[in-house]
Amino acid sequence: MRRKIIIAAGESNLVVDIRRMLDKIPVEVCDMASSANRALEMVEAQKPDLVLVDICLKGALTGIDLAHILNRKDIPFVLLTSTWSQQLFEELKLSCPYGVLIKPFKDTDLLPTIEIALYRWEQSRRLKGSDSVRQSVSQIHSGVIIGRSKELMHVFNLVRQVASHDTTVLLEGESGTGKEGLATRIHELSSRKDAVLVKVNCAALPTQLIESELFGHEKGSFTGAYGRKIGKFEKADGGTIFLDEIGELSMDAQVKILRVLQEMEIERIGGEGLLKVDVRVIAATNRDLEKRVREGNFRLDLYYRLNVFPIKVPPLRQRIEDIPLLVSHFLELFSVKMGKKVNSISNSALQKLINYTWPGNVRELQNLIERSVLLESGKEVQSIELPRPMAVQQDNVPDDSATVQTILELERDYIRSILAKCRHRVSGSGGAAEILNLPSSTLYSKMKKLGISREY
């Protein structure tokens, strides 16, 4: 069925350009309007599937005014703008658009944006008509994503809904909440489950090698390119790529990622042609991407490209009823791993965990239970040693030097304890970097900063 689209734009040249671009896909431009009032008349008469709204319209009402009206009428729309500012971003956000395009744009920008907008609208309608929490499910887990709290059941329900589609997913949440585990679960539930899942830590990519790491290079394409390298996107062809910490990418890297997401084509450095890739994208961030867009540190078009199906992962402090399940899981996991029989925890120790605020979320809990099992000589964890709170001055004004010193001490002590457990092995299987879930290069840098030698 051909989708019906209305174009609302005050510039005739823009309308002509959009019509030409839309000729490439099976849609019907059922009408065009230069003012908001005329567009609303067309909406009532034509019942379009989507409206393209330029914020600069003729007449008293602006495109943003029209957007608010369309939102109330539950009609999906994409906003078009040639200007950009923080104030405009806030105004656009309040109108709840299903997509935003910055002029001038190409058909490779417009056509995927329309497809994404229509899909997001259909998903929002489906969610409105369904129970977001399936109470019949008592416990689900994937990796360390374990629990039966209402907040987590909502997340699991969204995962189930989106997994079978090739839709781009954006996982948002604090560090340590389990976003990587959810990405793995989405892949496992998808039609791509038998293909590869390639995981990329965007924050760990060296700036000068980002393009080579993601898209590959040919032999001799630059100094040090001694052979052909297959990039992450090419390795993920037919499967899924997980772009973790995507909010850390530089603006230059964002442009390169955006092009791949738009056209599903890559080009190896030094290559002679474009390579088509069939990749499902899951991204994750612990940053507020909307704030980074406002600050000019993240591209608006990339944000909307990634934000097709956002899933907010709740922090552990918002689902404390899941702590006993998590503790039980980690006790079993590390008891088997260490060859011990620590299978329970005292009520006082468990209550201490429940009362803690968990700034490091599930990852912090996992590390704490691992340490407790390591130190426990009996069959039950009797006590838990929680991290010390940050020091503050008596007048409740933070003392920067004292706070930093306390944080550094905590980090130094913890890394030393992990190194001792690993017999001072930093990298490789069973090394401290693997346990801490850090790249070995990052751990070496931390050790140097904290004054930790391999044998201290």
Run of H or E residues at 30: strand 27-33
Of 2, 332, 315, give the one whose Cα is nearest residue 149: 315
What does the buried/exposed string (b/e) look like for 121-156 if buried means 16 or more CB atoms within 10 Å of the residue's CB? Answer: bebeeeeeeeeebeeeeeebbbebbbbbbebbbbbb
State the pLDDT at residue 455.
55
At residue 128, the pLDDT reads: 54
| Mean pLDDT over each residue of the chain, to the nearest integer | 83
pLDDT tens figures, 412-422: 777 787 787 77
Any idea which architecture 317-387 has in CATH? Orthogonal Bundle (1.10)
Q: Report pLDDT for 389.
A: 58
CATH code, residues 3-128: 3.40.50.2300
Q: Is the CB of residue 241 less than 8 Å from the CB of residue 200?
A: yes
State both tokens at 381. Answer: 């964890």
Architecture of the domain defined by 143-314: 3-Layer(aba) Sandwich (3.40)
Angstrom distance (rounded) from CA 146 to CA 200: 23
Q: Give, in order, the Cα–Cα distances in Å from 282 to each of 120, 175, 239, 346.
A: 16, 16, 11, 39
Question: Are 342 and 381 a contacting pair, CB within 8 Å?
Answer: yes
- The tokens describing 287, both together, are 């940053």
pLDDT digits (tens, 9 = 90+) for 86-110: 677 777 777 888 888 888 888 888 8
What are the residue boundaries of the structural domains of the chain, listed by start? Answer: 3-128, 143-314, 317-387, 393-456
Domains 3-128 and 317-387 share a fold: no
Kindly give the parts of the chain with pLDDT less than 50.
Answer: 130-144, 390-405, 456
**Cβ-count burial 379-388 (b if 16+ within 10 Å, e if not):** eebeebeebe
Residue 42 near residue 33, CB atoms below 8 Å: yes
pLDDT at position 405 is 42
Q: What angle do the packed helices 179-188 and 150-163 form, to 10 degrees?
A: 40
Structure confidence by residue, pLDDT tens digits, 208-224: 788 888 988 888 777 77
